[in-house]
Amino acid sequence: MPSLQKIIFMVSALTIAFCQSVYGQGETVPYPDYNEETFMDMEFEPNILSPAVPASASRDVVSYMKKVAMGLKDKYTVDLTRNDEVFIVTVPTDDLFNPNDTLLASFSNRYLTPLVPLMKDPYMYKILLVVHTDDTGSESYREMLSMERMNSVYDWLMDEIDKGAISEDLVIIPFSMGSTSPLVTNDTRAHRRENRRIEFYFIPGPKMIELAKNHNLK
């Protein structure tokens, strides 16, 4: 059975071909080099670094990202990375799933829905969806749990796209990390809960970079 990333890759390729045929009738793709196909071929670390922000725009991007991040701190754990050009929203998987379950729980919407407004403009952010587990169980179990939970959250985002709440052109790149990147040692129940998490990386997209270069980013 093909993996989720392979399926996304095939769908993205078809979507790009379709868009090219449509935009060829007098319209142009706003950012032709910015698409899911490009980023699906990248590993995790290079994805965090792309697209790069020119030095001339970095100060404005950092200021904007810090402002948005501060507005989310009352609901989430939010951190900055990549010299403060990227912010990470962390949601404990215990807030989204029942223990050992891979289907989103009924209470998960309260933690996912507040992120939707950030996803309306597809060119302001690129999103990395990164799922982690603790070290409980076998390696194969942790990999399965991480992958299935990633699929569930990705499917939720696709449902929001179907509803029109999220742009269908938004670039969302999923990663299933298992227990490979713990925040802390898995030596206590509290630490294991901290390691069971989903991270949403909000990376500046081409429109944000363009606005920052022109000092129009508010």
The model's pTM is 0.87
Number of domains in the chain: 1
Q: What is the pLDDT of residues 137-195, one digit of tens each?
A: 999 999 999 999 999 999 999 999 999 999 999 999 999 999 999 999 999 999 999 99
Q: Which domain holds residue 140?
A: 36-213
Residue 14: pLDDT band with limits 50, 70, 90: very low
Q: Is 142:179 a contact under the CB 8 Å cutoff? A: yes
- Gap between the Cα atoms of 168 and 123, Å rounded: 11
3-state secondary structure 50-103: CCCCCHHHHHHHHHHHHHHHHHHCCCCEEEEECCCCEEEEEEEHHHCCCCCCCC
Is residue 111 in some structural domain? yes
**Backbone φ/ψ region at 6: left (φ over 0), alpha (ψ -120 to 50), beta:** alpha
Q: What is the pLDDT of residues 17-61, one digit of tens each?
A: 444 444 444 457 899 889 899 999 999 999 999 999 999 999 999
User: How confident is the model at residue 28, as a pLDDT?
Assistant: 75
Nearest to 129 by CA among 48, 32, 34: 48
Q: Could you give the angle at the alpha carbon of 154 between the alpha carbons of 30 and 32, nearest 5°?
A: 15
Share of the chain above pLDDT 70, in %: 88
Average pLDDT, the chain: 90
Is residue 207 in some structural domain? yes
The CATH number of residue 168's host domain is 3.30.1330.60
Q: What is the pLDDT of residues 84-132, one digit of tens each?
A: 999 999 999 999 999 999 999 999 999 999 999 999 999 999 999 999 9
Is residue 94 in some structural domain? yes
Is residue 189 in some structural domain? yes
